[in-house]
Amino acid sequence: MWSAERRLRPLRSWLVPAACCALLQVTGIAGVASQERAIALEKLQSGRVFQSEEVRALQADDFANPGMLWVEKGEKLWNETAGADKRSCATCHADASVSMKGAATRYPQMDGASGRLLNLEGRMQQCRVERQKAPPFRYGADELLSVSAYVSHQSRGQPVKVDIEGGAKKHFDAGRAFYYERRGQMNLSCAHCHEANQGRTLFAEKISQGHSVAYPIYRLEWQSAGSLQRRMRSCLSGVRAELLPYGAQQYLDLELFLAWRAQGLPFEAPGVRR
């Protein structure tokens, strides 16, 4: 009764017509002006909406939300000195609830000095190395994740708004191209799930619109908090594509595109997702 075949049948039954629709829609989208939105601003929905009531309740509970443990750890690290000059984040930025309010909503952004695109973690690494004169956190390290959670949390409720003009334009275009490019053994692009099939059920889950406003999230599957890049790698794994290393330029460009795509959605870090 519960043979593998039976489980596959529901997948196959929606996949074929969906894939056809997706193909039409995706090629249609790729053909229009680059700043046209596949999902209109007023139709944007946070991933929270696609989660179950239990998961939403856990995110809303500021005490029990496991992501808050990373926020708390991040607050401790914010005040911890490092480097030869014994500077902490607080040395320059004082009270994060004031100085960092809204900061995360403007990332990724161009760094004037280096001409590179930086996400929030990249900016923190830059501060650590150049201003604190301390060794950088390893990408994916718990410390970096904790401070990122703490800083992102200060922007909770603030709408996402990134700048895609000037130096950022080429990164935005690259991110957008990556989003609509098919990849992996399953030959799917991000749009196949998160645009063509958002709101529909894939196995036991509802496919979200794929926004980045809740990151870093506590993911039940990871039994831990994790970054947006970790989630992207999970997606790549899902379509059986090559996992690019953390910090890869493609991820950064994609982060910029996603932030533009979610424009106006309020930040909700730390999110809880299944």
List C-alpha distances in Å: 200 to 197, 215, 274. 6, 22, 16
CB of 88 to another protein, least distance (A): 18
Q: Which is nearer to another protein, 51 or 132 (CB)?
A: 51
CB of 238 to another protein, least distance (A): 10
Host H or E run for residue 144: helix 142-153
CB of 63 to another protein, least distance (A): 5
Host H or E run for residue 217: strand 217-219
- Of 157-165, 169-177, 198-206, 207-215, which part binds another protein (CB under 8 A)? 198-206
Kindly state whether residue 220 participates in binding another protein, applying the rule CB under 8 A: yes
Query: What single DSSP character describes residue 38?
Result: S
CB of 184 to another protein, least distance (A): 16
- Of 70-78, 87-95, 124-132, 170-178, which part binds another protein (CB under 8 A)? 70-78
CB of 196 to another protein, least distance (A): 20
Kindly state whether residue 14 participates in binding another protein, applying the rule CB under 8 A: no
Dihedral angle sign, alpha carbons of residues 110, 114, 74, 81: negative
- Cα 94 to its chain centre, rounded Å, is 27
Q: Which is nearer to another protein, 77 or 89 (CB)?
A: 77
Angle between helices 4-31 and 169-180 in degrees, nearest 10: 140
Q: Is 98 left (phi over 0), alpha (psi -120 to 50) or beta?
A: alpha
For another protein, the binding residues in 233-252 under the rule CB under 8 A are 234, 237
Q: Which pair of tokens denotes residue 213?
A: 């406003």
- Of 48-56, 99-107, 189-197, 258-266, which part binds another protein (CB under 8 A)? 48-56
235 belongs to the catalytic site: yes
Other CB atoms within a 10 A radius of the CB of residue 170 amount to 12
- Of 68-76, 106-114, 120-128, 209-217, which part binds another protein (CB under 8 A)? 68-76
Angle between helices 228-238 and 249-261 in degrees, nearest 10: 100
Kindly state whether residue 224 participates in binding another protein, applying the rule CB under 8 A: yes
Cα dihedral 226/229/233/239 (nearest 10): 120
Kindly state whether residue 52 participates in binding another protein, applying the rule CB under 8 A: yes
Residues near another protein (CB under 8 A) are 1-2, 10, 51-52, 54-55, 58, 63-64, 66, 68-70, 72-73, 76, 201, 203-204, 218, 220-224, 234, 237, 274
> Annotated active-site positions, please?
235
